[in-house]
Amino acid sequence: MAPSVLAGRPSGPGAGYALLAFGAVLLAVGSYIGLFVAPSESFMGDVYRIMYVHVPTAWNALLAFTFGFGSAVAFLLKGDFKWDARHEAAVEMGVVLAGLLCCQGAIWARPTWGVWWDWDPRLTTTAVMFFAFIGILALRRFVEDPVKRATWSAVATIIAYVDVPIVYFSVRWWNSLHQMQSSPETVSAPFLIPLRTNAFGILFLMAGLITLRTRIARLRLSQEMAPPLPEAAR
Amino acid sequence: MSTSGVLSGGWEFVTAAYVLSLVVLSTYSLSVVWRYRVELRRAERELRGPEESA
């Protein structure tokens, strides 16, 4: 496999910072509407407002892992290290969002289910997904050779990704405490605006962070794969 | 807590979820920006060459 880490130039950091700032603004606006403007829910009262951060976090965590999976496949097919850098960035972002998702879920579960955690299919498969991708980040840290690291972690991501559709469909396949996926048909109109605003907010934030994190990975790869300095220059 | 099946209160849980989200997302964002700047400075030093950086 011919390493091509130095081939092509990543886009400037300006795009990453702009996406990050736009995402933060959207998230702030969406959260304000969700907390102070949207009406209370009939049964859950105000506790349901956790939905406006929890559901967008879940969507974007699954999206980050899907991008990581796509990047892993692209790396194995093309051998281009820019895909390895994207893969690393997406998996790290996915792990952050999945960890946050589990904590938000526990905070919502306590007042509604009466427990912080339950070995329910949705919760269990999400925890498996979180720990599987943490394992991939650990694997990347322990393997020094960039080619082996990229190949092994790409294969591991493809295997771990099997759990992602299981997480999504778990509430349909098994009896679950967790509610089914919501859609515009099942969510009242006043709830949709903050939900969508926060979903796009986290999406833009995630896109900005993945852009910057990819650049970090590419800079590190450039250093790792640079030819050693000649003796006279040392 | 009410026995009617309708929840009342619970703002402390809402606050906890939003504060946690804010802390996690902003800490990770800052760490990415900081790590990017560190890597960029290192790459620029290497580009200038060992003589200049010494």
> By percentage, how much of chain A surpasses pLDDT 90?
73
- Split into its structural domains, chain A has a count of 1
* Chain B residues near residue A99 by CB distance under 8 angstroms: 24
* Chain B residues near residue A216 by CB distance under 8 angstroms: 32, 35-36, 39
Position A50 in a domain:
yes
Q: Give tens-digit pLDDT for B1-46.
A: 556 777 777 899 999 999 999 999 999 999 999 999 999 998 888 8
Cβ–Cβ gap A209/B29 under 8 Å: yes
- Considering CB atoms only, which of B36, B43, B46 is closest to A212? B36
CB-neighbour burial class of residue A75 (10 A; exposed 0-12, middle 13-18, buried 19+): buried
Position A230 in a domain:
no
The distance of A49 to chain B (nearest Cα, Å) reads 7
For residue A42, what are its two tokens? 């009939």
Position A178 in a domain:
yes
Report the pLDDT value the prediction gives residue A7, as an integer from 0 to 100: 47
Give the 3-state secondary structure percentages of chain B, helix then strand then coil, rounded to 5.
80, 0, 20
Q: How confident is the model at residue A11 (pLDDT cuts 50, 70, 90)?
A: low
- Taking alpha carbons only, the member of A200, A69, A23, A62 closest to residue B29 is A23
Which region among A167-171, A188-192, B24-28 has the lowest average model confidence (pLDDT)? A188-192
Instruction: Determine the residue among A19, A29, A43, A47 to mutate to test chain B binding: the one whose Cβ has the most chain B Cβ atoms within 10 Å.
Output: A47
Report the pLDDT value the prediction gives residue A231, as an integer from 0 to 100: 61
CA distance between the termini of chain A: 30
Cβ–Cβ gap A226/B33 under 8 Å: no
Which structural domain range is residue A38 located in?
14-225
Position A155 in a domain:
yes
Which ipTM score applies to this complex? 0.88
CA–CA separation, A200 vs A222, rounded Å?
Answer: 33
Query: What CATH number has the domain bearing residue A134?
Result: 1.20.120
State the CB neighbour count (10 A cutoff) for residue A189.
7
Question: If you search the block for the tokens 């950091």, which residue do you land on?
Answer: A13
Position A231 in a domain:
no
Residue A97: is its pLDDT beyond 80? Answer: yes
User: What are the phi and psi torsion angles at A159 (to 5°)?
Assistant: -70, -45
* Chain B residues near residue A100 by CB distance under 8 angstroms: 20-21, 24-25
Position A112 in a domain:
yes
C-alpha gyration radius of chain B: 23
Q: Are A53 and A104 in contact (CB under 8 A)?
A: yes
CA–CA separation, A207 vs A112, rounded Å?
Answer: 32
